[in-house]
């Protein structure tokens, strides 16, 4: 979730100044019927609309606004925050384009740990001499690159930056270009190419690459002017990883390949259970030979990637670890998809069978009030719906279909209230000008900052898909399926350049994870942020299931791509299980809870409680979240830090009133530990202890007992169908699961040679000794 803090309020105050266009008129909101549901084309009286995004060129105003992106600050703010491009940062100001190469800062926190920051600081400032730059606007957006226009009348300074690309490519309509330095700079390698101005400013090295005929004039120790030849208004600026002549020569070779377009393509190989992701950059050579671009690969892109072995050059130290350079216009990553099944089988023969029956009956009795015990928004409603769905699955697998149906009826009725348009609980609204779906009422700035769509809508999409496994008629478009597909379109439109919805709203195609803040800001000018990575995974589980249930293969494959790649990013940038990312000074924590464009830290937006700080990147722990058990030693280490962290918090923190339960989310941690050691996890779980709002005692116990019976997740075996899972016991025996959402029998082939035939609409199971 996203914050309620001073900066958020200050930010919203700024956005409110732009919101005159978004004031809701007193006239009734116009309803639009979609099957049995309804959405509105404007908010109802008294409700705020989403903020406008006016800082776009005319061409970009014809497209849906790209909210929740690494650069979204640009389109909402006349004075945008820095954009963390990696490895560089840029910021548009009235004085021109600020360009910087961030370096690490270690900052002590009130939690007696540290935050790792790479701030935008001490920039070069690049500006045209012949005219003053105008207000910055987004002039183009591709899959991982953007164009920024700073036009004033007929004049323009246009800049292109791209993820991983250490250059900014700049074009001016006329005149010379001024470069101001934050301190006196030392010119490097004066014997090099006359087009190049290489500078060392403090400990950092930069280079500017002008056109043939450019003359670099030193105005003062802190100012240079590029005297540009006629009809050649282009140059590029780069941050350099070092001050070596060989590095400068490498950067010079690629400096004149200006990026024009960036594309990410994905392919799910169902037979091999792999996702191949291809990154392509199209360039325009401004002069000289076509040497192509120089791309920077993140750890999740270069680690264990045989296709780039031996091809990588110098590296930058960044907030995401080493960004290593590749001289190429494209590259690929190949990632294993380990699958999941929507639910796990019945518990039989367990000594805790009676205990399971007891908590099931108690959960059934309280199911109505647990649908939404806290909060008023669709976020809490979605969590309650998923809790009820998971509880229904337990009853179903344990053979009590009558109770399952009772729970399904309960959740369907509640979902229909929200989606129908007439309930006092809330309603769905679509802003055509922005291309944004909102669900009212407001909470967590979900509307006024367009926050958290993947988290909120992921619950609803997943629940609807799992209802559809049992009641296909309910998700038909003429009933409630059309409304669910509206939510899907909001977060998972795969077409580019549309007017109704942006391309993959929250998804960062290059960093391979989502962003939460719609307007692109966090705290202290550190860029966008994301907290609950596990709730993002929940959304992609929902897409995969929806695609399977409805027969939409393209959507299913998109879900597999998002699911697989975001897990890779989580394992690097939230958990650092490979030891490639976290700074050595970050050694008091084993995971990141909040990831920013230029910072990472162990915190939440609402409390310093270490249990909630840790748990927000675990919940909801479901059968779609077995990736959390990828490294059992890491799981045990992470859970093992809780006693000391909690004791410290109890000693130093000022508690909210009322304070949270001392064992808050103990069920989440028990499930998490069960993915590594189910027997030990069962010992830690308190039957009548705290229960997370999206969970139930029944589901938690059923989850752990299944792992005790089947073993922990086996990531070494895959299958040729998306809905599969494999588990391995200590004695080497395995359990193979596969679910068939289709209408004909499914023959499943596992990568170790095992086969399983699964009936339509059924969960298949095979047990095999070592």
Active site residues: 452, 531, 535
The token pair that represents 590 in the structure block? 């084993």
Contact call for residues 520 and 71 (beta carbons, < 8 A) = yes
C-beta atoms surrounding 372 within 10 Å = 21
Report the alpha-carbon distance of residue 71 to residue 83 in Å, rounded.
6
Q: How far is CA 689 from CA 372, 394, 765, in A?
A: 19, 20, 32
**Residue 760 burial (CB count, 10 A):** 11
Residue 539 to residue 487: CA distance in whole angstroms: 11
In this structure, are strands 167-172 and 177-180 parallel, antiparallel, or unpaired?
A: unpaired
Q: Which residue(s) pair with 306 in the sheet?
A: none
Continuous segment of H or E residues that includes residue 148: strand 145-149
Q: Are 206 and 213 in contact (CB under 8 A)?
A: no
Which tokens is 55 given?
């800082």
Cα separation, 526 vs 268, whole angstroms: 34
Both tokens assigned to 167: 């250059």
* Long-range contact pairs involving 493-496 (C-beta distance under 8 Å, separation at least 24): 494/554, 494/555, 494/558, 496/142, 496/143
What distance lies between CA 105 and its chain's CA centroid? 24
158's tokens: 């246009």
d(CA 446, CA 64): 18
Long-range contacts of 308-312 (CB under 8 A, 24+ apart): none
Q: Is the dihedral of CA 382, 386, 387, 392 positive or negative?
A: positive
The 3-class SS string of 524-550 reads CCCCCEECCHHHHHHHHHHHHHHHHHH
């Amino acid at each position: 979730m996203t914050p309620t803090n001073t900066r958020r309020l200050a930010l919203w105050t700024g956005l409110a100044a732009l919101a005159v266009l978004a004031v809701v008129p007193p006239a009734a909101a116009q309803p639009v019927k979609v099957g049995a549901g309804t959405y509105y084309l404007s908010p109802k009286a008294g409700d705020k609309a989403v903020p406008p995004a006016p800082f776009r060129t005319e061409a970009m105003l014809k497209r849906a606004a790209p909210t929740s992106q690494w650069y979204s600050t640009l389109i909402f703010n006349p004075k945008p925050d820095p954009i963390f491009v990696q490895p560089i940062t840029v910021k548009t100001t009235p004085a021109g384009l600020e360009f910087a190469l961030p370096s690490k800062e270690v900052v002590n926190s009130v939690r007696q740990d540290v935050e790792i920051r790479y701030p935008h600081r001490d920039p070069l400032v690049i500006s045209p001499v012949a005219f003053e730059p105008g207000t910055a606007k987004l002039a183009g957006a591709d899959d991982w690159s953007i164009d920024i226009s700073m036009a004033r009348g007929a004049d323009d300074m246009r800049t292109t930056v791209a993820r991983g690309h250490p250059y900014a490519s700049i074009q001016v309509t006329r005149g010379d270009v001024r470069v101001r330095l934050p301190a006196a700079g030392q010119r490097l390698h004066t014997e090099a190419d006359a087009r190049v101005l290489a500078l060392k400013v403090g400990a950092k090295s930069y280079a500017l690459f002008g056109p043939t005929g450019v003359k670099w004039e030193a105005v003062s120790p802190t100012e240079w002017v590029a005297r540009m030849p006629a009809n050649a208004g282009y140059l590029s600026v780069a941050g350099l990883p070092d001050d070596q002549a060989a590095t400068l020569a490498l950067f010079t070779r690629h400096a004149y390949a200006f990026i024009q377009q960036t594309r990410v393509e994905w392919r799910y190989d169902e037979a091999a259970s792999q996702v191949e992701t291809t990154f392509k950059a199209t360039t325009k050579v401004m002069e000289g030979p076509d040497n192509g671009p120089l791309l920077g690969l993140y750890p999740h892109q270069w680690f264990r990637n045989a296709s780039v072995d031996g091809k990588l050059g110098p590296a930058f130290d960044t907030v995401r670890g080493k960004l290593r350079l590749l001289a190429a216009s494209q590259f690929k990553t190949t990632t294993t998809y380990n699958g999941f099944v929507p639910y796990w089988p019945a518990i039989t023969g367990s000594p805790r069978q009676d205990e399971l029956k007891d908590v099931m009956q108690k959960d059934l009795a309280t199911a109505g009030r647990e649908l939404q015990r806290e909060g008023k928004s669709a976020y809490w409603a979605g969590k309650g719906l998923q809790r009820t769905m998971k509880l229904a699955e337990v009853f179903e697998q344990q053979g009590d279909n009558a109770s399952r149906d009772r729970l399904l009826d309960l959740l369907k009725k509640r979902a229909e209230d929200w989606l129908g348009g007439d309930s006092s609980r809330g309603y769905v609204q679509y802003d055509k000008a922005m291309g944004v779906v909102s669900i009212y009422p407001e909470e967590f700035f979900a509307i006024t900052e367009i926050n958290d769509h993947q988290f909120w809508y992921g619950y609803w999409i997943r629940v609807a898909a799992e209802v559809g496994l049992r009641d296909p008629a309910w998700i038909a478009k003429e009933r409630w399926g059309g409304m669910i597909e509206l939510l899907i379109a909001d977060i998972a439109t795969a077409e580019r350049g549309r007017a109704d919805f942006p391309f993959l709203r929250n998804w960062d195609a290059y960093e391979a994870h989502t962003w939460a803040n719609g307007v692109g800001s966090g705290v202290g000018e550190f860029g966008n942020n994301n907290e609950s990575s596990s709730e993002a995974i929940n959304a992609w589980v929902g897409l995969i299931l929806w695609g399977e249930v409805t027969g939409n293969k393209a959507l299913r494959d998109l879900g597999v791509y998002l699911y697989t790649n975001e897990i890779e990013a989580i394992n690097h940038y939230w958990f650092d299980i490979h030891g490639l990312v976290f700074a050595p000074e970050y050694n008091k924590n084993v995971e990141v809870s909040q990831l920013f464009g230029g910072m990472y830290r162990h915190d939440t937006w609402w409390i310093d409680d270490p249990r909630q700080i840790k748990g927000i990147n675990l919940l909801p722990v479901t059968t779609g979240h077995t990736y959390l058990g990828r490294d059992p030693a890491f799981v045990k280490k992470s859970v093992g830090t809780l006693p000391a962290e909690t004791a410290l918090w109890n000693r130093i923190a000022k508690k909210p009133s009322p304070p949270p339960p001392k064992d808050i989310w103990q069920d989440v941690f028990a499930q998490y530990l069960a993915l590594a050691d189910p027997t030990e996890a069962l010992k830690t779980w308190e039957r009548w202890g705290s229960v997370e709002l999206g969970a139930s005692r029944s589901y938690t116990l059923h989850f752990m007992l299944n792992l005790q019976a089947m073993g922990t997740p086996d990531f070494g075996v895959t299958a040729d169908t998306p809905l599969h899972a494999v588990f391995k016991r200590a004695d080497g025996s395995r359990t193979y699961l596969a679910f068939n959402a289709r209408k004909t029998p499914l023959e499943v082939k596992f990568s170790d040679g095992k086969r399983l035939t699964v009936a339509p609409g059924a969960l298949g199971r095979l047990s095999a000794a070592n």
